Amino acid sequence: MVENTGLITGINGNMITVQFNGAVHQNEVGFAVLGEDRLKAEVIRVNGNDVQMQVFEETRGLAEDDIVEFSNRLLSVELGPGLLGQIYDGLQNPLPVLAESQGFFLKKGAYLKALDHERKWPFTPAISTGDRVNPGDCLGHVQEGIFDHKIMVPFDFDHGLRVETIVPAGSYTLTDRLAVAINAKGDAVNLTMSFEWPVKIPITCYKERLLPQEPMITGTRVIDTFFPVARGGTYCIPGPFGAGKTVVQQITSRYAQVDVVIVAACGERAGEVVETMREFPKLKDPKTGKSLMERTVIICNTSSMPVAAREASVYTAVTIAEYYRQMGLDVLLLADSTSRWAQAMREMSGLLEEIPGEEAFPAYLESRIARFYERAGLVLLNDGETGSVTIGGTVSPAGGNFEEPVTQSSLKVVGAFHGLSRERSDARRFPSIHPLESWSKYKSIIDSEHLGITRDILLRGDEIRQMMTVVGEEGVTPMDFVIYLKSELLDSVYLQQNSFDPVDAFCSAERQSYVFTVLVDILKNPFDFSDRDAAREFFNSLRQKLIDWNYSEWKSVAFDSLENNIRAMMNLQGKVSERPK
Amino acid sequence: MNKIYRRIHQVSGNVISVFAKGVTYGELAVVSSRRGKSLAEVIRIENGLVHLQVFAGTIDISTHDKVKFTGKEMRIAFSDNLLGRIFNGSGAPLDHGPVLHDDLIEIKTPTVNPAKRFVPNKMIRTGIPMIDLFNTLVVSQKLPIFSVAGEPYNQLLARIAMQADADVIILGTMGLKHDDYLFFKHEIENGGAMTRSVFFVHTAADPMVECLMVPDISLAVAERFALAGKTVLVLLTDMTNFADAMKETAITMERVPSNRGYPGDLYSQLASRYEKAVDFEGAGSVTILAVTTMPGDDVTHPVPDNTGYITEGQLYLHGGRIDPFGSLSRLKQLVNKNTRQDHREVMDGLIRLFAGYRQTLEKQAMGFKLSSWDQKLLTFGDLFEKKLMALSVNLPLEQALDCGWEILAASFDRTEVGLRSDLIEAFWPNTGVSAGEEISNASSIRSASNSDNKSPLLRTSWNKPGCDVEVDAPERTTVAADE
Ligand SMILES: Nc1ncnc2c1ncn2[C@@H]1O[C@H](COP(=O)(O)OP(=O)(O)OP(=O)(O)O)[C@@H](O)[C@H]1O
Ligand SMILES: [Mg+2]
């Protein structure tokens, strides 16, 4: 029975003002009653006898004096086996199940169980009667697709619970009682396969946080080589519209060398997430041979879905990521776009008539962004294993100008910055990560001496290019001209990568190191050309060969023969170190 | 039971406020003044005070005018009888035809469940190489035309509408010049498409707020036709006026502006309209083409900027041509893998080289000595602009691709174009001539065809091939000069 209720006194967009009597918690969930429907809402400000709530649905149809029922709980998600492969909205409603019952459209006020409560999972216990267990400890195991899914003691339970009973191995549903444990006060608590966790509260059930150092291979050369991301690290991808943020993330979600990928489509186009939704079940994960969908969870609150639920969606996503991290897995969370999330905050802040900060974003924008990225990390779990959450967020700066609050706040807290440039995307130089503006604090798979050489060439090449726009090609020395050609070569055959080619889309760490060594040899070569045209001609044909090389399967016959071709070309020009055995 | 109130408490901008009970958020009221009746929509309720946005504006509204709440949201009669009809922004007939009453549908419809969408895969052929080859339009795409006043964007919109074969065309106009409205009507009638079209017309002379309903009405009707299995093309012009109308109300309501006076929810508002573009599984589809004029030709202005972040690309119409750089179709890769195997590479390759051409032009403007490579780029760029970029060109995709190869062969050697060798093998036109001859040949085209690149939307050229490169004879030795 609902005890605590209130009455609506004001409606403005998706914010309602509610007069209440009992006790109300900040961020508590309530339901606005609209005929048969109950619209989920969250308390975002308390003011005397009024609370302001953001409604996770369209508010049209609500009226003054309509009832709001408070739930006394925070906005939560259900955690347990069966999350993988799911497609959820920002509030963890399974969209395919909604589609089955409601057809083409999303009706408001329809909330479904996030996980299937009927399904039985074969469970193997890992504890026995009399054991002491702490939050996050493993009760037993369930095989979820390709993973050993650890069933854990809820993260907010008491420490030192004594196990009273535990079920034998067998098949159980999510709600079946698996174990009874006694806390210090002597109360019995039930342990089940799934439990709820409030999304805005980070899961901190681990021993300590470790420094992220191991690279997370994405298979995108410019990232892994030049602007790497560490497992447990954070990075952001700002870029003007159409620069390629989503494509970079889609490619990463396919090829990243991690266990679990959470795709959070936050306030962007529905069509894009549909591509992922439809393609992933068909694509094979090269590592496991299973469909990619088995390692993926999609959280999808697209731009025409309610804006408050969009704000919630990133928290839903990161909570699920942390949950799998607790099992000792490496999880990658890709959020597209964090700007839409920030805008959702801005919309609510505007309705609350808070004093606006820069570009009308609320003053707390920066701390919210920081706290979100801080939920990434490499952790040492209580059982001695490590797990990680890596977070990559796109940013959609207004006008493509990085001097705006969301980009700037993100840059302060992330470990790598992949800045996409309009200039590069216009020239179809994809992925359009700007090689001179981007940075990463993490360690590359390539040794720093070689990286230094190539960076210098890119930098010098750019200077020379700029110089040539002022003084013309003739105005630079032949040697400089060759440096410029070298930087262009590096750009076209290494920085650029064809995301839509089945071979080129993914370049393994091994292949990157191999190809890079060959390239460095080429770049180190002084060259001596009779004139500029000869130089250009040589580099054009070399580029052609290297592009073909990129398209050839790693270690295939074509790969070898192209490599020999390239080496032969180089030998005519100078020398290249011997081909490694 | 409809509630009637006779005391208007506040009038500000286009918004009136009334103390009223039991009013629901989003419902419509009828405001009767001595100038006539207007619909008004509830946009805020606070402690008994109800704020309504009056579609006809508030000029001459009296404190004692009648406000009658209808208890209903905005709706429109939906049936096949809509076809061939013209309405205003509130859904009232403008064509002296009968008022439609039956089968009322709400115009704010819920979002399509993403799980019910599927990946678009049908190309819409327009015969415009800058679209078909470089920025392929796809069924269910939402694509704006970014442009500035004076550019032929409405002409382009009408041309695409007539050449793309859609079952139903829905035109929604916001702040359209009356002459342009007559132009559309004329074009669509002349093309024999009026019987499959519906117009929702708001002109520059109409009250600003009334245009706020136009996208919703147009899209609600489109969605219904699509659910009935029809391929629907929605044309919206000009969405910047729609955004400006929202801005006006937001300012009246004293909402904190985010950027140049536009409300913070501009993105969400625009997105909820554009996201109506959809391909329904087992039914029809909605494709949206919209005009967004850019104040001051500034693509970073909040309206084009937010639009670009929402839509699946944009056509950048500028100087009477679709610019290859500003323009983009995000969905092209979903269809161009099934057109012809060289489509993608040719598309990317031509654009890369065209970028080089633009740089060379800059060099040239600075008076630098041009290298022989620059010369080649100049030849190329010039041919590209005339044979593919000019809006007068009307070519099927395959011919446009051949034309692209011809242009490449006329300008460069095989090794210079940066395309995959296997494609070059397969598609490079067989030339028996040396590079030098090609260039001189090509430059003669340059001088010969200089005369006809003026009016880019020459009506007469719509239906005849615009590329005078003899593309249908691939074994020809080189690009031919003008007849
Ligand atoms: N790696 C790539 N290879 C080839 N084309 C690309 C690549 N990345 C992006 N593109 C092209 O650019 C288009 C836009 O890319 P994308 O959708 O990723 O942009 P975005 O930065 O996410 O834009 P928005 O902010 O509007 O969402 C793609 O549809 C594609 O045509
Ligand atoms: Mg994107």
| Contact: B45, A10; criterion CB under 8 Å | yes
Coil/strand/helix, residue A518: helix
Compute the distance between CA of residue B230 and CA of residue B223 in angstroms, rounded to an integer: 9
Q: Which of A221, A246, A218 has its CA nearest to residue A233?
A: A218
Pairing of strands A260-266, A330-336: parallel
CB contact (8 A) between residue A302 and residue B111: yes
pLDDT exceeds cutoff 70 at B465: no
Pocket, ligand 1, Cβ cutoff 6 A: A 239, 241-247, 268, 396, 430-431, 499-500; B 308-309, 328, 330, 333
Cα A148 to ligand 2 centre (Å) = 33
Average pLDDT, chain B: 86
Contact call for residues A63 and B25 (beta carbons, < 8 A): yes
Average pLDDT over residues B278-307: 94
Beta carbons of B407 and B139 less than 8 angstroms apart: no
Q: Check CB contact under 8 Å for A492 and B418.
A: yes
Contact between chains at B119 and A274 (C-beta distance less than 8 A): yes
Host H or E run for residue A314: helix A307-325
Output the residue whose Cα is nearest ligand 1's atom 29.
B330
Q: Is B370 exposed, middle or buried (0-12, 13-18, 19+ CB in 10 A)?
A: middle
**CA A510 vs CA A315, A332, A554: distances in Å:** 35, 21, 10
Express each pLDDT in B15-39 by its tens digit.
999 999 999 999 999 999 998 999 9
- The contacts found for B297-301 with CB under 8 angstroms, 24 or more apart, are B297/B148, B299/B146, B299/B326, B300/A398, B300/A399, B300/A400, B300/A401, B301/A399, B301/B260
Q: What is the CA radius of gyration of chain A?
A: 27
Shortest alpha-carbon distance between residue A130 and chain B (Å): 47
Confirm if A255 and B99 have CB atoms less than 8 A apart. Answer: no
Ligand 1, atom 11: closest residue by C-alpha: A244
Alpha helices in B123-213 (DSSP H): 129-132, 153-163, 178-190
B208-246 residue pLDDT tens: 888 999 999 999 999 999 999 999 999 999 999 999 999
Cβ–Cβ gap B275/A302 under 8 Å: yes
Read off the pLDDT band of B483 (50, 70, 90): very low
Residue B301: per-residue pLDDT: 94
Residue B368: list chain A partners with CB under 8 A. 471-475
Distances (CA, A) of B247 to B53, B264, B266: 13, 10, 9
Give the residue with greater pLDDT, A33 vs B436. Answer: A33
Quote the ligand 2 centre to A552 CA distance (angstroms). Answer: 29
Q: Give residues with Cβ within 8 angstroms of A490, minimum separation 6.
A: A454, A457, A458, A461, A519, A523
User: Are residues A350 and A363 in contact, defined by beta-carbon separation less than 8 angstroms?
Assistant: no
Mean pLDDT of B309-336: 91
How high is the pLDDT of residue B451? 38
Q: Are strands B15-19 and A67-74 parallel, antiparallel or unpaired?
A: unpaired
Q: Are A285 and A312 in contact (CB under 8 A)?
A: no
pLDDT tens digit sequence for A179-188: 999 998 999 9
The structural domains of chain A, ordered by start, are: 5-74 (2.40.10.170), 84-112+206-440 (3.40.50.300), 121-193 (2.40.50.100), 448-573 (1.10.1140.10)
ipTM of the complex: 0.91
Residue nearest to atom 2 of ligand 1 (CA): A430
Q: Report d(CA B428, CA B441) in Å as an integer.
A: 17
CB spacing of B25 vs A59 below 8 angstroms: yes
Of A388, A17, A70, the C-alpha closest to A234 is A388
How far apart CA A365 and CA B26 sit, in angstroms, is 30
Long-range CB contacts (within 8 A, 24+) of A563-571:
A563/A518, A566/A518, A566/A542, A567/A518, A569/A538, A569/A541, A569/A542, A569/A545, A570/A521, A570/A522, A570/A525, A570/A542
Q: Does A340 touch chain B (CB under 8 A)?
A: yes
Q: Does residue B85 surpass a pLDDT of 50? A: yes
Taking residues B353-367, report their average pLDDT: 89
Beta carbons of B34 and B102 less than 8 angstroms apart: no
pLDDT at B401 over 60: yes
Phi, psi at B66, each rounded to 5°: -90, 130
Q: Which atom of ligand 1 is nearest to the CA of A239?
A: 21
A9 and chain B in contact, CB less than 8 A: yes
Distance B478 CA to ligand 1 centre (A): 35
| CB pairs A-B closer than 8 Å | 221
**Strand-pair category, B231-237 with B168-176:** parallel
> From the list A274, A279, A500, which residue is nearest B114 (CB)?
A274
Provide the token pair at A95: 């969209």
CA distance B38 to A158: 63
A5: three-class secondary structure by DSSP: strand
pLDDT-based confidence at residue B450 (cuts at 50, 70, 90): very low
Measuring CA to CA, how many Å separate B394 from each of A1, A234, A479, B383, B390?
69, 49, 47, 16, 9
List the domains of chain B with CATH numbers: 4-73 (2.40.10.170), 76-334 (3.40.50.12240), 343-474 (no CATH)
Cα of B311 vs centre of ligand 1, distance in Å, is 12
Q: Give the residue ranges of chain A where pLDDT is below 70.
A: 1-2, 573-581
Number of C-beta neighbours around residue A447 at 10 A? 12
The pLDDT of residue B1 is 55
Per DSSP, what are the bridge partners of residue A50? A19, A47
Q: Which ligand is nearest to the CA of B335?
A: 1
Whether chain B has a CB inside 8 Å of the CB on A500: the answer is yes
Residue B456 reports pLDDT greater than 50? no
Mark yes or no for CB contact A547/B44 under 8 Å.
no
- Mutate which of A237, A246, A395 for ligand 1? The one with the most ligand atoms within 8 Å of its CB, which is A246
The structure's pTM equals 0.90
Are A58 and B108 a contacting pair at CB < 8 A?
yes
Tokens for A348, please give them. 């609510």
**pLDDT-derived band of residue B434, with 50, 70 and 90 as boundaries?**
very low
The residues pairing with B478 across neighbouring beta strands, listed in sequence order, are none
Report CA dihedral (A288, A294, A299, A302) to the nearest 10 degrees: 90
Left (φ > 0), alpha (ψ -120 to 50) or beta: where does B365 sit? alpha
More confident residue, A176 or B458: A176
Distance CA A311, CA A309 (A): 5
For residue B333, the model assigns a pLDDT of 86
Taking CA–CA distances from B337, the nearest residue in chain A reads: A500
The strand pair at A132-133 and A147-152 is best described as unpaired
The per-residue pLDDT for range B62-75, each reduced to its tens digit, is 999 999 999 999 99
Instruction: Compare CB distances from A64 to B48, B118, B227 and report the shortest one's residue.
Output: B48
3-state secondary structure A194-231: CEEEECCCCCCCCCEEECCCCECCCCCHHHHHHCCCEC
Average pLDDT over residues B371-383: 94
Separation of first and last alpha carbons in chain A: 75
Within A294-412, strands assigned E span 296-301, 330-336, 377-380, 386-395
**Which residues in chain A are closer than 8 Å to B352, comparing Cβ atoms?**
427-428
Residues of B with Cβ-Cβ distance to A103 under 8 angstroms: 113, 116
Counting ligands in written order, the one closest to the CA of A425 is 1
Query: How far apart (Å, rounded) are the C-alpha atoms in residues A348 and A150?
Result: 38
Q: Residues with Cβ < 8 Å from B282, sequence gap 6 or more?
A: none
Using CB atoms, pick whichever of A270, A399, A551 lies closest to residue B305.
Answer: A399
Determine contact: A60 vs chain B, CB below 8 A: yes
A487, A462 in Cβ contact below 8 A? yes
Q: Is the pLDDT of residue B481 over 70?
A: no
Interchain proximity A63–B23, CB inside 8 Å:
yes
Q: Are A180 and A190 in contact (CB under 8 A)?
A: yes
Backbone φ and ψ for B320, nearest 5 degrees, come out as 75, 10
| Lowest-pLDDT choice from A168-177, A301-310, B272-281, B452-461 | B452-461
DSSP conformational letter for B56: T
Alpha-carbon gap, residue A544 to A493, rounded angstroms:
9
Helix (H), strand (E) counts: chain B: 13, 23
Band (B459; pLDDT cuts 50, 70, 90): very low
Give the closest residue (by CA) to ligand 1 atom 15: A244
Say yes or no for a CB contact (<8 Å) between B44 and A11: yes
Q: How far is the CA of B331 from the centre of ligand 2 (A)?
A: 12
Closest protein CA for atom 9 of ligand 1: A244
CB contacts of A65 in chain B (<8 Å) are: 22
Q: Evaluate whether A203 touches A323 at the Cβ level (below 8 Å).
A: yes
Residue of chain A nearest B336, judged by CA positions: A500
Largest CA distance in chain A: 90
Do residue A400 and residue B366 have CB atoms under 8 angstroms apart?
Answer: no
A147-152 β-sheet, strand order? A147-152, A138-144, A121-125, A170-172
pLDDT value of residue A2: 60
A435 contacts A495 by C-beta, under 8 angstroms: yes
- Chain A residues with CB under 8 Å of B110 CB are 58, 105-108
Residue of chain B whose Cα is closest to the Cα of A87: B115
Helix (H, G, I), strand (E, B) or coil at A264: strand
Which residue in chain A has the smallest CA separation from B347?
A: A428
Q: Is residue A581 less than 8 Å (CB to CB) from chain B?
A: no
